[in-house]
Amino acid sequence: MPVPVYVYRCDQCGPYDQRRNAEDSSRPLPCPRCSGDTKRVYTAPAIRSRSTASAAAAGDRIDRARAGEPIVTGAPVGRRIPSTGSHVH
């Protein structure tokens, strides 16, 4: 599981990001520049947007198409082909 990124703020140097385990996130952390005291800044979680997921899926389809793999991208369009014996004019 990836380690989350937390935002901390130093009174002297400003905000910075730090990867830490969740259980360590609220423990004091010295500023990497001046070694001063910092406080954790609470922010909204980073959530992968639908458009990002769609773009990633499109990239996967392009890679598979270049490799020659047939790709189904959706339901067939146009008129349905009638089954044998049920077609009436």
- Give the pLDDT confidence of 52-81 residue by residue, as tens digits: 656 666 667 667 767 766 666 666 667 776
Kind plus residue range of the DSSP H or E element containing 55: helix 50-66
Q: By three-state DSSP, how is residue 9 classified?
A: strand
> Could you tell me the pTM of the whole model?
0.48
Q: Looking at residue 36, what is its pLDDT?
A: 93
- 84 within a domain of the structure (yes/no): no
Q: Dihedrals φ, ψ of 24, to 5°?
A: -95, -5
Q: Which structural domain, as residue segments, surrounds residue 22? A: 1-67
- 8 within a domain of the structure (yes/no): yes
- 7 within a domain of the structure (yes/no): yes
- Give the pLDDT confidence of 1-48 residue by residue, as tens digits: 678 888 999 999 999 999 998 888 888 889 999 999 999 988 877 665
> What's the total number of domains in the chain?
1
- 75 within a domain of the structure (yes/no): no
- 83 within a domain of the structure (yes/no): no
- 44 within a domain of the structure (yes/no): yes
Q: Looking at residue 72, what is its pLDDT?
A: 62
